[in-house]
Amino acid sequence: MSDLTKLTIKQAHEGLKNGDFTSVDLTRAYLENIKKSDLNTFITVTEELAVQQAIRADERIALSKAEGQNFPLLCGIPCAIKDNILIDDIKCTAASKILENYIAPYDATVIQKLKAEGAVFLGKTNLDDSAMGASGETSIFGATKNPHNKTRVPGGTSSGSVAAVAAGEAAYALGSDTGGSIRQPASFCGIVGLSPTYGAVSRYGLIAHASSLDQIGPITKNIEDCEIVFEAISGKDKMDATSVKLNSDELQTTNYKLQTLRIGVPKEYFAKGLEPEVEKIIRGAIKKAETAGAKIIEISLPSTEYALPCYYIIGPSEISANLARLDGIRYGLSENGKALLDVYLKSKGHGFGPEIKRRIMLGTYSLSSGYYDAYYKKAQEVRQLVRQDFEKAFSKVDLLFCPVSPFPAFKLGEKLDDPLSMYLADIYTIPLKLAGLPGLSMPAGKTQDGLPVGLQIIGNHFEENKILAIAEELEKLL
């Protein structure tokens, strides 16, 4: 039997259908890879649960075959879940000291959906502390390493999920993207990562970071797998008022071809700061799209230069409000104190890491009396300008092609003491989040040092189908 961990979801599904192997075989193959790994991808490995789920999946598959029925594409397929998404009765730490021993009391909606499909959960993956960072190094459980070069970061914050899929430790994974946390690590590790339109996937059961920006999305080996997982987890949820019901047209990927497309290339994304080798690879991918018949149009997103400072006011402001609930009273780390204020100060002081404290202080300051209008209100006005830029662009073009990151994976420890330099890793991924748009990272090539570089494809609201259709066509050309 060949290496089962190299199979895509579709290939594994066909193997299960044909009886070439069982879900238990598949699950044990991935668990073996996890045991041998030195990448520090998982915080919690749920081996016993995974084997039980695989046994149940095999029973379901056997029954479906006996009745001449099809079974779901994700039935019996092992996956990994970022450790800020709740799975009932499993530890959910967000890689943070303050939630180190927190046990999830319910399933996130995306987990309910995957359970209904018959998915197998291998465990919870490592991430930057409280999903804040861009390298995968701030976790209290230690840094995750890049499978392509163990001296390099995998990117963040969905570091463990992305590295696990890239290293054959999961068939697919779920991550969350607030400013670039799925796309940037997907680019660094050479796989596919989708940040859906805001509202396309329920956030219920995702530990809140910045509520107007967070989205759960799929991390996969190829584009076809990304389509399968996105279709399984998307849709309206009564537990999340911001979620939206997608109609069948919005899930159809058959209506779009490169030769009929107008592709916009934002000139601001190819300015100073973009490494020449990365630019060469991205322009090469754009050229291949043009050769296949796409019309390439240079466009401008003039508010791009304000997107990063705008994000680092809105994001920390929402973080400041969301993390107020971690007060050492109801759940999470609780330190003893003589008075209530002592409990708050000690619990938060010991429970929050340096990056979390930095963002809480920035956010609290931005929301404080006397500064609210100058910072938070102004940032929301700038956010509207960023959104309007994209609206103008999509009146002229169908999709945007650009880099995911200005550089490939950097060395472990290289930017850890320089937060501003770290924030620049998200300079191309943040603008679309402010506008609530979908974006995908797909492998475009490798540098001379063998480091992957991702192409970012940005679509209009709820146009994941268009992004995925074109990405699938482009995947064959790159």
Domains in the chain, please, with CATH? 4-251 (3.90.1300.10)
Triad 464, 425, 463: Cα angle to 5°: 10
**Please, is 283 exposed, middle or buried when counting C-beta atoms within 10 Å of its C-beta (0-12, 13-18, 19+)?**
middle
- Of 143, 135, 130, 62, the closest CA to residue 102 belongs to 130
What is the reported pTM?
0.96
Determine the Cα–Cα distance for residues 151 and 147; give it in Å rounded to an integer.
Answer: 9
- Of 37, 137, 206, the closest CA to residue 417 belongs to 137
Q: Are 179 and 430 in contact (CB under 8 A)?
A: yes
Q: What is the CA 279 to chain-centroid distance, rounded? A: 23
Which residue numbers in the chain have pLDDT < 50? Answer: none
pLDDT score recorded for residue 437 = 98
Q: Are 43 and 105 in contact (CB under 8 A)?
A: no
Q: Are 232 and 74 in contact (CB under 8 A)?
A: yes
pLDDT score recorded for residue 425 = 86
The two tokens of residue 281 are 């690879």
pLDDT score recorded for residue 262 = 97
pLDDT score recorded for residue 252 = 67
Triad 48, 49, 55: Cα angle to 5°: 90
Torsion of CA 233, 234, 240, 246, to 10 degrees: -160
- E strand or H helix that includes residue 26: helix 23-36
DSSP 124: E
DSSP-derived pairing of the beta strands 192-195 and 120-125: unpaired
Triad 368, 213, 220: Cα angle to 5°: 150
Determine the Cα–Cα distance for residues 323 and 317; give it in Å rounded to an integer.
Answer: 10
Determine the Cα–Cα distance for residues 293 and 304; give it in Å rounded to an integer.
Answer: 28
